[in-house]
């Protein structure tokens, strides 16, 4: 260790990357690296990248262009700025990144973050350090244990990665190539991490995995546990009042998991369950291995178990060969489900995936038109969902102060941001209190503390 240095980690893409960025900061902390909020003046800058669509990958190269200027300025001032690329672009492109952007000093894939200190040391000696392997060892076992982490409790909510990788091979998707095959962490490691989070004041944990509901780990009883079993176990940890998980594949929604939605009050009534398209022809070409009718039947089963569950999804428009009728089937499916929110994207051919080789690519203008129509429908559903909560009194977990003094921001069970005016705001952070929703705006709800909220806050504190 040689004095205090600063590291700036910029995160792109999904929540897995948010979690990984914290773990990278943890791995570097024993080397004397302190996290900072800006690349300006930082000794080390790491871009934790996303490769899911072309646009996401391209953003990295524009950011590297900006960083080159900062690095050159640092050199003129006699300082060294080391630049690293981590995440899925690192995994997919490896050393090619350095060929395209020579300002980059080190490249590290998502499976080798525990080797980061060594890679950084090599890079600081002037070597170009590249490590984007799929090693046999388990990176979680090599990352700092929970009790030594700096970042353990940044707030009252936290992510916890329980599963990585994907074996589904949807024909459009790079994840099976960048994150590798499905692996689950053992139940004991997850429980230990969740207990530390709860002790550090975390009230809500979101379990993460590219295919989180394919989770299967060795349970305490020697049996293979699925995500449902894991959720039941985590719900027994004192102080963990709220559990969520993301992202799920429809084929892995098993009975135990649906039972968890029915029986666990801690499991929040919100489910991100991507379907991608509504046409069976397109679903087959996507290798989704489910039909639209199967997805709708599944949604019905989940809603029978947990009637107030809010659904969200992901959609791709303009998959190769998608006709106007196919697209209309997507609109019909969205209509039939009624989503609380959803993400939608234009199909983006990804090198190395089967769909990128298909000849019937949809023209860009057609994709843009379909995306606009789908997003208009999704926006209507989002607005309707939020409007339907006005007048309800719902438990809100307060996460942070609002922009104005005397304002608090929290989340409803359905993941909606809720703004509330309150006294003693800092004392209420981490408390769950009933809030009556009074109004909606574009991205959030407004509410007021319901009668009795004060007493409950005290009880909870």
Residues that bind ligand SF4 (CB under 6 A): 166, 168-170, 173, 175-176, 210-211, 249
- What minimum distance in Å lies between the beta carbon of 295 and ligand SF4? 13
Tell me the number of residues near ligand 5AD by CB under 6 A: 12
- Residue 86 contacts ligand 5AD per CB under 6 A: no
Asked if residue 314 binds ligand 5AD (CB under 6 A), the reply is yes
Strand order in the sheet with 341-346: 270-272, 310-317, 341-346
Name the residue whose CB lies closest to ligand 5AD: 314
What residues have CB less than 8 Å from 299, skipping those under 6 apart? 273, 311, 337
Binder of residue 347, out of ligand 5AD, ligand SF4, none (CB less than 5 to 8 A by kind): ligand 5AD
Query: Which residue(s) pair with 48 in the sheet?
Result: 11, 86
Query: Is residue 348 a contact residue for ligand 5AD (CB under 6 A)?
Result: yes
Q: Is 350 in the site for ligand 5AD (CB under 6 A)?
A: yes
Q: Which residues within the stretch 143-172 sit at the binding site for ligand 5AD (CB under 6 A)?
A: 172
Return the DSSP state at 276. Answer: B
Give me the 43-72 binding string for ligand 5AD, x by CB under 6 A, dash otherwise: ---------xx-------------------
Query: CA 214 to CA 235: how far, in whole Å?
Result: 19
Instruction: Choose among ligand 5AD, ligand SF4, none what residue 345 binds, the Cβ cut-off being 5 to 8 Å by kind.
Output: ligand 5AD
CB nearer ligand 5AD, residue 33 or residue 347: 347
Residue 173 beta carbon to ligand 5AD: minimum distance, rounded to whole angstroms = 4
150 by Cβ neighbours in 10 Å (0-12 / 13-18 / 19+) ranks as: middle
Applying the rule CB under 6 A, the residues between 201 and 230 that interact with ligand 5AD are none
Q: What share of the chain is helix, strand, coil (3-state, %, to 5)?
A: 40, 25, 35
Tokens for 404, please give them.
Answer: 């104005």
Q: Which long-range contacts (CB under 8 A, 24 or more apart) does 32-37 make?
A: 32/1, 32/2, 32/3, 32/4, 32/5, 33/4, 33/5, 33/6, 33/7, 34/4, 34/5, 34/6, 34/7, 35/6, 35/7, 35/8, 35/9, 35/150, 35/151, 36/6, 36/7, 36/8, 37/8
The rounded Cα 458 to chain-centroid distance in angstroms is 32
Smallest distance, Å, CB 271 to ligand SF4?
A: 15
Q: How far is the CB of 21 from ligand 5AD (least distance, A)?
A: 18
Give the span between the Cα atoms of 115 and 111, in whole angstroms: 9
Residue 348 binding target from ligand SF4, ligand 5AD, none, CB below 5 to 8 Å by type: ligand 5AD
Report the nearest approach of ligand SF4 to the CB of residue 33 (Å): 31
Alpha helices (H) along 145-279: 175-178, 187-199, 227-235, 255-263
Peptide bond into 7 cis (omega under 30): no
Of positions 215, 347, 385, 398, contacts ligand 5AD by CB under 6 A: 347
Shortest Å distance, C-beta 7 to ligand 5AD: 27
Q: Which does 211 bind (CB under 5 to 8 A by kind): ligand 5AD, ligand SF4, none?
A: ligand SF4
70 binds, among ligand SF4, ligand 5AD, none (CB under 5 to 8 A by kind): none
Q: Which is nearer to ligand 5AD, 318 or 395 (CB)?
A: 318
Nearer to ligand SF4, 39 or 209 (CB): 209
Contacts of 76 by beta carbon, 8 Å cutoff, 6+ apart: none
Question: Is the distance from CB of 179 to CB of 166 less than 8 angstroms?
Answer: yes
The residue ranges that bind ligand 5AD (CB under 6 A) are 52-53, 172-173, 274, 276, 314, 316, 345, 347-348, 350
């Amino acid at each position: 260790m040689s004095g205090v240095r600063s590291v700036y980690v910029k995160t792109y893409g999904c929540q897995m990357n948010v979690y990984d960025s914290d773990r990278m900061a943890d791995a570097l902390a024993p080397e004397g690296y302190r996290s900072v909020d800006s690349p300006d003046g930082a000794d080390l800058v790491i871009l934790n990248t996303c490769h899911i669509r072309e646009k996401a990958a391209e953003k990295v190269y524009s950011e590297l262009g900006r960083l080159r200027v900062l690095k050159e300025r640092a050199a003129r001032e006699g300082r060294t700025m080391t630049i690293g690329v981590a995440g899925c672009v690192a995994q997919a492109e490896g050393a090619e990144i350095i060929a395209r952007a020579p300002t980059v000093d080190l490249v590290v894939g998502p499976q080798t973050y525990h080797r980061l200190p060594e890679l950084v040391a090599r890079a600081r000696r002037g070597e170009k350090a590249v490590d984007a392997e799929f090693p046999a060892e388990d990176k979680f076992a090599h990352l700092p244990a929970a009790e030594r982490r700096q970042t353990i409790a940044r707030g009252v909510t936290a992510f916890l990665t329980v599963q990585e990788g994907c074996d589904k091979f949807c024909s459009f998707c790079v994840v099976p190539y960048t994150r590798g095959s499905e692996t689950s962490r053992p139940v004991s490691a997850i429980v230990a991490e969740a207990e530390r989070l709860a002790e550090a004041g975390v009230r809500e944990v979101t379990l993460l995995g590219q295919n989180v509901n394919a989770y299967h780990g060795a349970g305490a009883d020697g049996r293979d546990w699925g995500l449902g079993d894991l959720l039941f176990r985590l719900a027994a940890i004192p102080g963990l009042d709220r559990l969520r998980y993301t992202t799920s594949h429809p084929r892995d929604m098993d009975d135990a998991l649906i039972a968890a939605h029915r029986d666990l009050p801690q499991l929040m009534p919100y489910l991100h369950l991507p379907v991608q398209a509504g046409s069976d022809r397109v679903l087959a070409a996507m290798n989704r291995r489910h039909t639209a009718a199967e997805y709708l039947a599944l949604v019905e089963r989940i809603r029978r178990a947990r009637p107030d569950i809010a659904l969200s999804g992901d959609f791709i428009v303009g998959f190769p060969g998608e006709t106007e009728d196919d697209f209309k089937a997507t609109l019909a499916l969205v209509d039939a489900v009624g989503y609380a929110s959803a993400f939608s994207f234009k199909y983006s051919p990804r090198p190395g995936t089967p769909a990128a080789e298909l000849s019937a690519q949809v023209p860009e203008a057609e994709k843009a038109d379909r995306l606009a129509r789908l997003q208009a429908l999704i926006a209507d559903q989002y607005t309707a969902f939020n409007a339907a909560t006005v007048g309800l009194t719902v438990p809100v977990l307060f996460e942070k102060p609002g922009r104005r003094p005397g304002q608090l921001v929290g989340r409803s069970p359905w993941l909606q941001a809720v703004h509330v005016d309150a006294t003693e705001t800092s004392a209420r952070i981490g408390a769950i209190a009933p809030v009556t929703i009074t109004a909606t705006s574009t991205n959030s709800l407004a509410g007021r503390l319901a009668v009795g909220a004060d007493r409950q806050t005290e009880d909870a504190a």
